[in-house]
Amino acid sequence: MFDLERWQEIFDTIRKNKLRTFLTGLSVASGIFILVILLGFGQGMQNGIAHEFEEDSATSVWVWPGTTSKEFKGLNPGRTIQLRNDNYASSLALFGEEIEYKSPRVFVRNLKVNYGKEALVYSIQGVSYDFQFIENAKMADGRFLNYQDEVSTAKVAIIGNKIKQDVFKEVETPIGEFINISGVLFKIVGVYSEREDREEERIYIPITTAQRVFNGGDRLNNMSFTLPVMENFDQAVVQAVAFKEDLQSHLQQVHTVAPDDTGAIQVWSALEEAKRYYSLVGNIKFFFWFVGICTIIAGVVGVSNIMLIVVKERTREIGIRKALGAKPWSIVGMILHESIFITAISGFAGLIFSMGLLEIVGPYVEVDYILNPSVNFIVAISTVLVLILAGVIAGFFPAWRAATIHTIDALRDE
Amino acid sequence: MIEIKDLHKSYKMGSNVLHVLKGIDFTVEEGELVAIMGSSGSGKSTLLNILGMLDVADSGEYTLDGVPIKNLNETKAANYRNKFLGFVFQSFNLINYKSAMENVALPLYYQRVPRKERQERALKYLEQVGLKEWATHLPSELSGGQNQRVAIARAMASEPKVLLADEPTGALDSTTSYEVMDLIQKINDQGNTILVVTHEDDIAHMCKRIVYLKDGVIVEDKKVKQVRASEYV
């Protein structure tokens, strides 16, 4: 390995055969390049999907009422189900121990909202104080709703960061400012921020205020819960599915809905959904690995092919060397040394180029479900090492054949 | 120096067996310059290849400088070739991307001589064949005669016991042939044992002994009065 003469031998050969060396190197480098890019995008997809699910709490479960589609106990299909405070209370009474955070929600619609003279077109939602944790919202300023607001039907509002940027440009902080919702003044007490702009275009007010001030009665639009976080993902999914089914059948009983009429009361579990996506990502990653490994195999076949040609071309030279006293192993060593050198240099070139591309372009990739494609350095390095090893194995057989040809036959080769 | 007894060699050509050497007995003393003559197919090249351990005999004994040559494997043969023998071929067999000096130094590389010493010795032998100023040239930049002189320098560089030359003048015109033979004679004058395979009568008569081969047997083995090649140059 550290034999200067042999290194010079290799450089001589490479210098004399630039095109051949370049093509060998290119096949190796492109193999590594494609593999790394594929793996990078596999990781990017996983990142992207994980990101989508981070918007809401990973363990959240949402209940949305719909319309019945089946006749049940004498009731016609086509009934619209209306959730009420009772349903929320009974759900809590039944499953309270399994739940971590909980909040009902009311959409307050068709009301004029003004800040000073400016008319605001943002959705107003009545929620409970836990809602911040269900939505994974961060407080940028002030506070979120609290228990006291809810009991006292306080006329307070929390606005999203986007609203602050759009409307409250003139004031230092929107905290303490008043907005006018259909003639009732609400004091802004907090600003929240979320990952996505559209999630920041909401005004939250206490659920009790929303129901009482705006004639909501005891009607709810939906309910949301989170389950305590568990270490084991699969166990968490099982827990979430069980909770979802219990909750659904409870609400179906209360509203006299057929047990198999899933559209009437829809319960959606983020974890279950996540599992579906993660298994999809797993399949995609497997596919990428498969394609990548096929690419590597193609690279190895290319390298061994070229090694065969190299050896064929150098048969006479090998004969001369043997006549001068070269032992078979020194011939094998010489050819392998060259093959390792070329695969290593081009493999690392492909690696550096592809990782560089991922590093530079990766953070700018803004496609849904793909985020910051990147690749594990250890994985990439071991791929290159595998390729070098494969090059050694692929180069060994032609080299060994060349070394054991009868010297006299090798010398006759034209 | 060389002693062979009852040497046989045959080649399979499809279903036919071609008996090339049919019992050769032959001795060469140290310092001899022997020409092996014969028409093509007489077995002279095969004999030289067996002497050079490039080929293996079917039966018979071969002793080189007191060492019995038998049970050869590639590694052993490579060792003996490197230690005992120097080769000169009709087609020179220089490595085309190496300079004259690198070609001459190559056998020394396989003797594990350090790099610097290799170069010094290679230059010394190039000087002996009168090509010192061509040391950095590639074979493609040299004439045929010059290439053969480089090949002779390479054969001598490992300081072999025996120099084997297979038609060394076969690819050269008469003037350069005589130059090469002159060089071979001078090397012989220094006490080196040399075997030359040739089918040219004038080249053979520049040796000290001529062995005629016909159909795989020695038909004549005679000492001759050496014609100095320098007379023609």
Residues shown for chain B? 233
Q: Quote the CA–CA distance of A149 and A144 in Å, as a whole number.
A: 10
Q: Quote the CA–CA distance of A367 and A22 in Å, as a whole number.
A: 36
Is A233 within 8 Å of A279 (Cβ atoms)? Answer: no
pLDDT confidence of residue A53 = 67
Question: What amino acid occupies position A321?
Answer: R
Residue B89 with chain A: CB contacts under 8 Å: 411
B17 token code pair: 């067996």
Find, in chain A, the residue whose alpha carbon is nearest to that of B76: A327
pLDDT confidence of residue A325 = 86
The distance from CA A348 to its chain's CA centroid, rounded to whole angstroms, is 27
Contact A408 B49 (CB under 8 A): yes
CA distance A20 to chain B (A): 16
Mean pLDDT across B186-212: 92
| Percent of chain A at pLDDT exceeding 90 | 9
pLDDT confidence of residue B36 = 93
A323: nearest CB among B75, B81, B111: B81
* The three-state (H, E, C) secondary structure of A188-224, written as one string: EEEEEECCCHHHHCEEEEEHHHHHHHCCCCCEECEEE
Query: Within 13 A of A224's CA, how many CA atoms are on the CB side?
Result: 21
A34 token code pair: 């494609």
Is A199 within 8 Å of A206 (Cβ atoms)? Answer: no
pLDDT confidence of residue B136 = 92
Q: Quote the CA–CA distance of B118 and A200 in Å, as a whole number.
A: 80
Give the strand pairing for A156-160 and A118-120: unpaired
Residues B5-35 pLDDT 10s: 999 999 888 888 888 899 999 899 999 999 9
**Interface of chain A toward chain B, CB-CB under 8 angstroms:** 4-5, 12-13, 16, 316-317, 319-330, 403-404, 406-408, 411
Interface test with A, best of B74, B110, B152 (most A CBs within 10 A): B74
Is B154 within 8 Å of B187 (Cβ atoms)? Answer: no
* The three-state (H, E, C) secondary structure of B129-174, written as one string: CCCHHHCCCCHHHCCHHHHHHHHHHHHHHCCCCEEEEECCCCCCCH
Quick one: angle between helices B100-110 and B115-128, nearest 10? 130
Q: Quote the CA–CA distance of A204 and A128 in Å, as a whole number.
A: 9
pLDDT confidence of residue B185 = 93
B107: nearest CB among A324, A404, A408: A324
Give the strand pairing for A138-142 and A178-181: unpaired
Q: Quote the CA–CA distance of A379 and A323 in Å, as a whole number.
A: 45
Residue B139 with chain A: CB contacts under 8 Å: none
Share of chain A residues as helix, strand and coil, in percent rounded to the nearest 5: 55, 20, 25
Helix, strand, or coil (residue B221): strand
Report whether pLDDT(B193) > 80: yes
Helix, strand, or coil (residue B13): strand
- Going from the first residue of chain A to its last (414 residues), give the mean pLDDT of each consecutive group of 10, the final group possibly shorter: 71 78 82 83 78 71 88 84 88 87 88 84 90 87 90 91 86 88 89 84 91 85 87 79 88 86 85 78 80 77 76 85 87 84 87 87 74 78 81 80 81 73
Measured in degrees and rounded to the nearest 5, phi and psi for residue A190 equal -160, 155
Contact B97 A404 (CB under 8 A): no
pLDDT confidence of residue A269 = 85
* ipTM of the complex model: 0.90
CA distance B151 to chain A (A): 11
Is A127 within 8 Å of A204 (Cβ atoms)? Answer: yes
Residues B82-117 pLDDT 10s: 889 999 998 899 988 888 998 999 999 888 888 889
B110: nearest CB among A316, A326, A406: A326
A142 token code pair: 């002030």
In A109-237, beta strands by DSSP E: 113-115, 118-120, 123-127, 138-142, 156-160, 178-181, 184-193, 202-206, 219-220, 222-226
Instruction: Indicate the pTM of the whole model.
Output: 0.66
Contact B93 A323 (CB under 8 A): yes
Tell me, what DSSP letter sits at residue B189? H
- Counted across chains A and B, CB pairs separated by less than 8 A come out at 65
pLDDT confidence of residue B32 = 92
CATH numbers and ranges of domains, chain B: 2-94+159-231 (3.40.50.300)
| Percent of chain B at pLDDT exceeding 70 | 100
pLDDT confidence of residue A389 = 83
- On average, the pLDDT of chain B sits at 90
Domain residue spans in chain A? 4-53+277-412, 60-268
pLDDT confidence of residue B165 = 93
Residues A85-125 pLDDT 10s: 988 988 888 888 888 899 999 988 878 888 888 888 888 89
CA distance A15 to chain B (A): 10
pLDDT confidence of residue B30 = 92
Q: Which of B231, B233, B167 is nearest to B203 (CA)?
A: B167
Question: If pLDDT is split at 50, 70 and 90, which confidence band does B121 have?
Answer: very high
Is A341 within 8 Å of A22 (Cβ atoms)? Answer: no
pLDDT confidence of residue A2 = 58
Find, in chain A, the residue whose alpha carbon is nearest to that of B56: A406
pLDDT confidence of residue A54 = 64
Contact A328 B78 (CB under 8 A): yes
pLDDT confidence of residue B147 = 93
